[in-house]
Amino acid sequence: MAPINQENFDYDLVVIGGGSGGLACAKEAVQFGAKVAVLDFVKPSPRGTKWGLGGTCVNVGCIPKKLMHQASLLGEAIHDAQPYGWKFAEPESVKHDWATLTESVQNHIKSVNWVTRVDLRDKKVEYVNGLGYFKDAHNVVAVMKNQTERVLNTKNVVIAVGGRPRYPNIPGALEHGITSDDIFSLPHEPGKTLVVGAGYIGLECAGFLKGFGYDATVMVRSILLRGFDQQMATMVGDAMVEKGIKFLHKTQPQSVEKQADGRLLVKYRSDDGTEGSDVYDTVLFAIGRTACTDDLKLDQAGVVTAEGGKSDKLDVDSFETTNVPNIFAVGDVLYKRPELTPVAIHAGRLLARRLFNNQTDIMDYADVATTVFSPLEYGCVGMSEENAEAKFGKDKVEVYHAYYKPTEFFVPQRSVRYCYLKAVALLEGDQKVLGLHFLGPVAGEVIQGFAAALKSGLTMKILKNTVGIHPTVAEEFTRLLITKSSGLDPTPATCCS
């Protein structure tokens, strides 16, 4: 393919950030003849943790999280196996080894780091291991490991720097706490752990730690899973309590003090003024993330962050363009966009196609499916029940719901108390489906296919006329007949009729 008209620029595109979105954009752009460089540099966490090329998802996000979640599920499966006829000489001797897990997880991550480097080389994307900042709108400076600086002159820039976990502004938090940046490579057993924060990252971490046999407590400032359907969020929490995970509601930490024995004394205060304290081996903060825009010197390129410069995130138009015409942004650095790896990847690819292949498709940020990998998983796509009612009015929305019993749970007599799903739909006509919510095993695998259906205009009429695959948990969506407004019991009487 003929090279892009470079107009005397050294590069057609410089991408700042070697995570999912930035890499996808860079690799797509070179296919159309663009000359591309990717800058990536990982600042160590306050604890000193650092990692290789690939961004949050590969190194300290989705991939190690899913592996540790899987490790936790395997622990449950071992106990389930006995009533299914599998015999162990000493079942009580089955225990988890943290060091083996972290070594296996880190070995996999390092292999992905290597494959990512090779892939960039093969695709002729120049990789620069340097921290980027703007000299001006067309010149990006890479600060190398030895503190030398290299200037890259480019026609276009994509900001894909993502974010990093925040710490609370309390004594001892930074010195003694860890975040998701550190947990997946922690060099010692976490032991009794306090997780501060009840977003999906906090709940997932608490879930797999409890699965390995560690004492886990979640400290909740306000609500669980802000931004998600709150009925489902409450049920996720209740299912975690059933697993033995403790919750401190309406509570905030006040200080973290290291004691003589090395353990951490956490003092906390509830909304009603009640004060308390407890001692933990590990304190993990999962209270939100901050976009990595501070180092970029955006003002030198004329880029203004969201909320008129008050936010650390970037506002973009429907073409991912910032307020400077040749500077774009994708991924978790964006303001009020889903912070999800596949979103960043898709947006990055579409951006490259528009810039270098005359395509016009734009990113659709609506109805993006996601899953919380809590012990009992929660998958959803589309609108929450409360958002649907707020937009269309409670009298215009119908909710179909049901409890169900996974076949796999019967023999080991696992709890089915929180296995539940619902469809949020418009009341009129064929009842267009606005949102689907599923709490139960393999929720991500279940919700993915239904996400495509919802994007295609799924209605309750179509859903009811879809024949399920029996016996699966996904088929439960095709068996939704009871509405909340009917007041009928949504508990199933039998599985096969």
The answer, yes or no, to whether residue 6 has pLDDT greater than 80, is no
- Does 401 share its domain with 447? yes
- Does 15 share its domain with 155? yes
320 in Cβ contact with 197 (< 8 Å): no
- Check the annotation: does 37 bind a ligand: no
- Does 212 share its domain with 279? yes
pLDDT digits (tens, 9 = 90+) for 211-231: 999 999 999 999 999 999 999
Provide the residue type at 138 as one letter. Answer: H
pLDDT, averaged across the chain: 96
- Check the annotation: does 362 bind a ligand: no
Cα–Cα distance between 443 and 447 in angstroms, integer? 6
- Total residue count of the chain as it appears in this document: 497
CATH of the domain at 391: 3.30.390.30
pLDDT digits (tens, 9 = 90+) for 340-373: 999 999 999 999 999 999 999 999 999 999 999 9
Beta strands at 370-372 and 126-128: parallel, antiparallel or unpaired: unpaired
Asked if residue 495 belongs to a domain, the reply is no
Instruction: Locate the DSSP E strands across 112-242.
Output: 126-128, 130-136, 139-144, 149-159, 163-165, 193-196, 216-219
* Domain, as residue range, for 252: 170-287
43-48 mean pLDDT: 97
Asked if residue 449 belongs to a domain, the reply is yes
31 in Cβ contact with 353 (< 8 Å): no
Domains identified in the chain, total number: 3
The answer, yes or no, to whether residue 497 has pLDDT greater than 80, is no
102 in Cβ contact with 186 (< 8 Å): yes
249 tagged catalytic: no
Asked if residue 1 belongs to a domain, the reply is no
- Check the annotation: does 61 bind a ligand: no
- Does 247 share its domain with 210? yes
- Does 344 share its domain with 380? no
- Does 132 share its domain with 219? no
Cα–Cα distance between 217 and 207 in angstroms, integer? 10
Cα–Cα distance between 402 and 213 in angstroms, integer? 32
**pLDDT at residue 328, as a whole number:** 98
- Check the annotation: does 197 bind a ligand: yes
Reported confidence tier of residue 1, pLDDT bands at 50, 70, 90 = very low
- Does 477 share its domain with 383? yes
Which two structure tokens, joined as six digits, stand for 192? 């009794």
Give the active site residue among 69, 96, 138, 470. 470
Provide the residue type at 286 as one letter. Answer: A
Which two structure tokens, joined as six digits, stand for 442? 């393999």
**pLDDT at residue 4, as a whole number:** 60
Asked if residue 420 belongs to a domain, the reply is yes
**pLDDT at residue 91, as a whole number:** 73
- Does 139 share its domain with 184? no
Asked if residue 366 belongs to a domain, the reply is no
Asked if residue 363 belongs to a domain, the reply is no
| DSSP secondary structure string for all residues of 73-107 | HHHHHHHHHTTTT---S-GGG----HHHHHHHHHH
- Does 193 share its domain with 97? no
- Check the annotation: does 262 bind a ligand: no
- Check the annotation: does 288 bind a ligand: yes
pLDDT digits (tens, 9 = 90+) for 288-328: 999 999 999 999 999 999 999 999 999 999 999 999 999 99
pLDDT digits (tens, 9 = 90+) for 71-113: 999 999 999 999 999 998 887 788 999 999 999 999 999 999 9
CATH of the domain at 268: 3.50.50.60
Asked if residue 154 belongs to a domain, the reply is yes
Instruction: Locate the DSSP E strands across 331-395.
Output: 370-372, 378-382
- Check the annotation: does 90 bind a ligand: no
Which two structure tokens, joined as six digits, stand for 233? 């969020």
**pLDDT at residue 287, as a whole number:** 98
- Does 245 share its domain with 331? no
- Does 16 share its domain with 155? yes
Asked if residue 6 belongs to a domain, the reply is no
